Chains A and B, each alone.
Chain A
Amino acid sequence: MAKGGTQIRKYRLQGAGLDLALPYLMLAPGLLIVLGVLVYPLWDGLRASTKVYRYGSVVADAGMQNYIKLWSDPQFLNSLWVTVKFVALSVTFETILGFALALFCLREFRGIRLLRTILIIPMVITPVVVAIVFRLIYASDAGMLTAISVWMGGGQVQILGSPVKAFIGLVILDVWEWTPLMFLILLAGLQSLPHEPFEAARVDGAGSWRVFADLTFPMMRPVLAIAIVLRTIDAFGTFDQVFVLTRGGPGEATRLVSIYGYDTAFKFQQTGYAAALFVTIGLVVLALAFSAVRLLRRVDAS
């Protein structure tokens, strides 16, 4: 039956005239746009990363110089360190909170629909607006924290002026915005787990901790891994929220690589150097993604 189907399909494929060209005709529009607006620029970016620019035009060949310079540039290394800290902290909290929430919501109860509906809001709000919301919370004169503190008899609260607090404030923003996504992915994962092992465990009288440690967690590992990878890749590219919330400051406390790269390109007009920076970041993220995929395959196999 299946074989017959394949044969018919093949026959149709190798039919006459227009049908033969159809797959190419269908692929062409999309591929042309992608080639023109994504792939050509990607190639162009690689080329730009080996040049020295002054005000938008090439003035010299740099070879690999831009790349070499990058690894002895304290500002770049600092931004990379800030990014790694930011991604690690945010994703860790989002995973733990999201997983806890998903476990909590696994059983149907009154109000769960409302909870899910409201949890969608933070992640669909425009990131720029999320940043505005948090500026309105953190601001020392007009902020919510200050207003609450004053109402309770305290003084002004200063968040964005202090390097440590500003960084923590940024992590909190990210956790507020993206924990819901973790929650949704992990809830879907939990709901798709088979029922039998859990029923067997209940018959055996296993406690809820045992069930979690021996059943839920191991079975959820692939979904957890995918969710963490997705979030990590996205968090690496975080730009909008920081641009609006702190612009990278105070000092360099919240200056992620994306912000440093943007400033290098558009504020300091070092186009070639910035291109090299972004190519490097792209490679890092791709390497991360591919090693995660390989890791996942191994988890699946075992």
Chain B
Amino acid sequence: MNSRLARIGVMSAVLAIVLLPIYWLVSTSLKSNREITQEGTLYPHVPTLDNYIRLFTEKQFGAYLTNSLVVTFFSVAIALVAGSMGAYAIARFRLPFAMERKVGLFLLTLRIVPPVVILIPVYLLMLKLGLLNSWLGLIATYTAFNITFCVWMMESFFREIPVDLEEAAMVDGDSRFGAFRRITLPLAAPGLAATAIFAVLVTFNEFLFALALTATPRAMTMPRGTATLIGRIDTDWASMAAAGVIGALPIVFFALLVQRHLVRGLTMGAVK
């Protein structure tokens, strides 16, 4: 009885700590600036959606979201295709000089280096190529980051799938690549999903490179656009809160929808 009470107590405390900040964000987004700064209310007394409307009519938030969706979709899609092919080659073939192992280790090392380390040269590269402030520049950058991650994840998923199945397909006249495409890849679908989910999360949330590589609503992603909003209108708390809600909503919704895969992908690499 006592331990049950303690359990409920701890749980409520944890939920309160997690949810209170989120409550404050949402509640602020529904207040007017006057109510926020002058009355300091604990909940919106005069709830309004004006802040949200202003974001889309005056602050080009729609463009930021579109850019985020386009950039995330293409960089994750390309990385999944290129990454899973690469992972398959590493998992299944023996190459001269144990190259498959060296390539794997090399990609893992790249993954560990903090992205900030290559910020300046990537900026200089995109400057040289004329890709600053463009979808293509962001897509190229994010694709490269996602590939290192996809190869690493997919390799371990491919290793779990028995080779015999591919061999059976090849005995039946399928080509090696055909066996990969028709047998192994579908079997690795859960792994592919977990990998995609992770890549989507990281890419959608990325800020540093978006900050350095974009400058106008033409290519600014959602996190980047949100940060601009903060700089430009220093004390427009209401808009800031609304931008926060809209920035968080799609990704939180997405994450809760695919929760099972998320937890698997998260812990797989760490615990195995």
Contacts and interface: CB of A to CB of B under 8 A. Distances in A.
Name the prevailing secondary structure of the B interface residues: helix
A19 interface: yes
Given A30-B86, A41-B122, A41-B125, A120 B270 contact: no
**B contact residues, range:** 35 or more
Interface in A113-148: 115-122, 124-129, 132-137, 139, 141-142, 144, 146-148
Given A118-B18, A227-B270, A243 B148 contact: no
A124 B117 contact: no
B114 A282 contact: yes
A36 B128 CA distance: 13
B223 A34 contact: no
A37 B143 contact: yes
Contact of A37 (B120, B144, B244): B144
Contacts of B24: 133, 136-137, 144
B31 to A, nearest CB: 9
A10 to B, nearest CB: 8
Contact of B222 (A30, A126, A184, A230): A126
A77 interface: no
Given A30-B147, A185-B270, A265-B119, A117 B226 contact: no
15 contacts: A9-B167, A27-B85, A27-B89, A30-B86, A34-B110, A42-B117, A115-B11, A120-B262, A184-B267, A237-B115, A239-B208, A243-B207, A265-B120, A281-B114, A281-B117
Interface of B: 7, 10-11, 14-15, 17-22, 24-25, 28, 36-37, 40-42, 78, 81-83, 85-86, 88-90, 92-95, 100, 103, 107, 109-110, 112-125, 127, 140-141, 143-145, 147-148, 150-151, 163-164, 167, 170, 175-177, 201, 204-205, 207-208, 211-212, 222-223, 226-227, 230, 235, 237, 240-241, 243-244, 247-248, 251-252, 255-256, 259, 262-263, 266-267, 270-271
Given A45-B120, A185-B266, A239-B208, 17 more contacts: A5-B167, A9-B167, A23-B93, A31-B86, A33-B144, A40-B121, A42-B113, A121-B18, A126-B247, A128-B205, A132-B247, A135-B230, A142-B36, A176-B21, A240-B207, A265-B123, A275-B120
